[in-house]
Structure 1
Amino acid sequence: MRSLESSVPHRLGRRTNFIPALEGKPAKWADVIESVSDAQKRASLAKSVVSTTLVRDPDGRPIVTTADVDVMAQLTPDQLFAVRRPASHKGMRNYISRVTVPSQAHDSRAVWCESFNELSHLRDLLITMQPTQVSTQPLRLEWVFASGVRSHVPDFLLRVDGGKTMLVDVTTRSKLDDPRLRSILQLTRATAETIGWEYEVRTELPPQRVRNLNFVHAGRRDVRQDRSSAARLLRQARRPIDVERASQLLGGGSLGYLRLWDLIAHGLAHIPLDEPIDIDSRVSSDRPAGGGSWLVNL
């Protein structure tokens, strides 16, 4: 890992960047697409990748560093600051936001989302994957081609159960029609696999799921309950149980519902997220199986 001069934040259109600009001329897209389509060349590019990161030094201050594959394999989301931040601007169409996320190194942490699509997916991951660490815009991946360089900033880096690390990109179905983006995402997947990370490309969530995620996420509040004991109570209840029955087990009335939404929002209880929520919705202690129409296999 090589330390660089700490970058002065600079505004470039819709984003504020905290790392130096990429050096070198951009690689020709024809070269990128051809190289990535060849499995051997793609693997070679993945092994030779370099990233620019903004990491926390021993005093807690951000420093700009570069890292190869071996060093990246040791990085954790809690070590990383965002390498860029969305900025509001006149005529903007994106919905930018900050989200409180889990952390093992800090009492609390908030990260930026660059769009409503990203926000919805982060909420989905917080509920369904229960990550212990989260960083957004965590690093800039840089690859050298014969005709120049290309880079990519993934959207999320998460540490999940079992110590696994997951890199995530969020986009839209229509953008995947662009062979340039598909090539970059395919190369990002190969790079993540070389590092030892899992990788997901996510597109738009179904509208009903987004509505449910927004509703459930609003239930992340301190309702003065022992979440572990409450989750255990639901697990021990006679099956099956629905929303109404679960709320009664948790104290009944409005407080029982608040406690239930709090458990669901923290991933300690689960309900179907792809259909309307009502008092008859089934409550489960089992994490939902992976997969969904929004996951793309490139």
Structure 2
Amino acid sequence: MRKRHSAVPHRLGRRTSFIPSLEGKPAKWAQVVDIAGDAAVRATVAAAATATLLTIDTDGTPGVATADVGSLRSIVPDRLLPVRRPASHKGMTNYISRVVVPTEAHETRAVWCESFNELTHLRDLLIARQPTQVATQPLRLEWAMTTGVRGHIPDFLLRDVDGRMLLVDVTTGRKLDDPRLRAVFQLTAATAAVLGWEYQARTELPPQRARNLNFLHAGRNDTLQDRLGAARSLRQESGPIDVQRGSELLGGGPQGFVRLWDLVAHGDVHVSLDTLIDLDTPVTFQPTGGGAPWLHAM
């Protein structure tokens, strides 16, 4: 059942919620941890999950909606607004920001990130996954248990060009040591599996990768070049290509570098993001790099 969305006053230093509070008493953490640790029970609870969302009507009006697992399979990230919004305050340690992301309904839109950690991970996903739709703080998952109910708001929901959905949580390695948070992530992963979605729990990116991502993201839209044609011209070059040679093949000078960074930022060519990028860095046509220590199986 849909409810009309109403504005919520800004509260200094606290997140602003746009959906009703979770109804019912909180489930005991001991039961949450026990359920998350039992694969069969976890799957049963996940299959009965519900969600609260803030969706956009066809006329552009936002409204609060609830959905069961069956309905969640058909949700569209482009039609989701954040169910909560971060609020800034003097002396805060988090870095709140908005990020321009692609959509299918329009050319782009802006979404919220609640921390610098989230911001760099979203930039990583924009390059690595090249999603066509992105929503942040997209919904509140809710699980009913005998001792009460627990809810969780994941950080990102992405849709790829082939329709695959990816649900993402971003945290820190220190917080992931908390068995309560791990239990919530395990329930989120199980619910995503029921929905046929991929799920990722991510901790801090290595500093060099974060620096590279921020540098490349700054040049995502610096050129109107024919990206497919430019990448094709690089593929036709015989022998290996490094950053210096790639920039020369794309016109040379500062413009050649701008075009190369634009290709990397849009996933048309690749460089290693985990090491310092310099003139000798190889340019490849397949993603490079080994394991991802910031990805954690749940």
Other-structure match for 1:132: 132
Aligned match of 2:102: 102
Q: CA deviation at 1:216?
A: 1.0
Structure 2 distance, partners of 1:258, 1:91, is: 36
The alpha-carbon deviation at position 88 of structure 1 amounts to 0.1
Structure 2 equivalent of residue 206 of structure 1: 206
Structure 1 residue 231: deviation in Å?
1.4
1:39-75 per-position Cα deviation (integer Å, ceiling 9, x unaligned): 2221111011010001110101111100011111111
Amino acid at match of 1:219: G
Q: In 2 relative to 1, CA 251–292 (structure 1 residues): closer, same or farther, beyond 3 Å?
A: same
CA contact (8 A) 2:104 2:133 kept: yes
1:57-136 paired onto structure 2 within 5 Å: 57-136=57-136
The answer to whether the 8 A contact 1:101-1:109 is kept is yes
Provide the rounded CA distance (Å) in 2 between the counterparts of 1:256 and 1:177.
Answer: 46
Per the TM alignment, residue 27 of structure 1 is displaced from its structure 2 partner at its CA by: 1.0
Q: Is the 8 A contact 1:83 1:137 kept in 2?
A: yes
User: Partners of 1:291 and 1:131 in 2: how far apart?
Assistant: 21
Counterpart for residue 187 of structure 1: 187
Alpha-carbon displacement from aligned partner over 1:135-178 (angstroms, at most 9, x marks no partner) = 10000001111111110000000011421000000011110111
TM-score when scaled to structure 1? 0.96
Provide the C-alpha distance between the structure 2 equivalents of 1:4 and 1:128, rounded to a whole number of angstroms.
37
Counterparts in 2 of 1:67 and 1:185: CA distance versus 1, 3 Å: same
Superposition deviation, residue 89 in structure 1:
1.6
State the one-letter code of the partner of 2:221. Answer: R
Q: Is the 8 A contact 1:234 1:285 kept in 2?
A: no
Residue in 1 aligned with 2:7? 8
Distance 1:65 1:111 in 2: 20
Q: CA deviation at 1:217?
A: 0.9
SS of the equivalent of 1:163 reads: coil
In the TM superposition, what are the counterparts of 1:1-298 in structure 2 within 5 Å?
Answer: 2-11=1-10, 13-288=13-288, 291-298=291-298
Runs of 5+ unmatched residues, structure 1: none
Which deviates the most, 52-61 or 11-20?
11-20
CA drift at 1:90: 2.8
For 1:160 and 1:283, locate their aligned partners in 2 and report how far apart those are by CA, in whole Å.
Answer: 24
- Structure 1 pair 244–283 and aligned structure 2 pair: CA distance change class (3 A): same
Q: How many residues align?
A: 297
**8 Å Cα contact 1:49-1:141 kept in structure 2:** yes
Q: Does the 8 Å contact 1:128/1:288 carry over to 2?
A: no
SS at match of 2:43: helix
Describe the SS at the equivalent of 2:4.
Answer: coil
Identity %: 61
One-letter amino acid matched to 1:93: T
Q: Using the alignment, how far apart are the partners of 1:220 and 1:152 within structure 2? A: 32
Q: CA RMSD in A?
A: 1.4
* Structure 2: gaps spanning 5 or more residues: none
- One-letter code aligned to 1:9: V
SS of alignment partner, residue 229 of structure 2: helix
Paired residues of 1:102 and 1:131 also in contact (CA < 8 A): yes
Q: Is the 2:117–2:170 contact (alpha carbons within 8 Å) kept by the matching residues of 1?
A: yes
- 1-structure distance, mates of 2:272, 2:166: 24
Contact map agreement 1:7 1:20 (CA 8 A) in 2: no
Per-residue CA deviation, residues 202-254 of structure 1 (Å, 9 max, x unaligned), is 11111111111111111112323111211111122223100010101100111
Counterpart of 2:16 in 1: which secondary structure?
Answer: strand
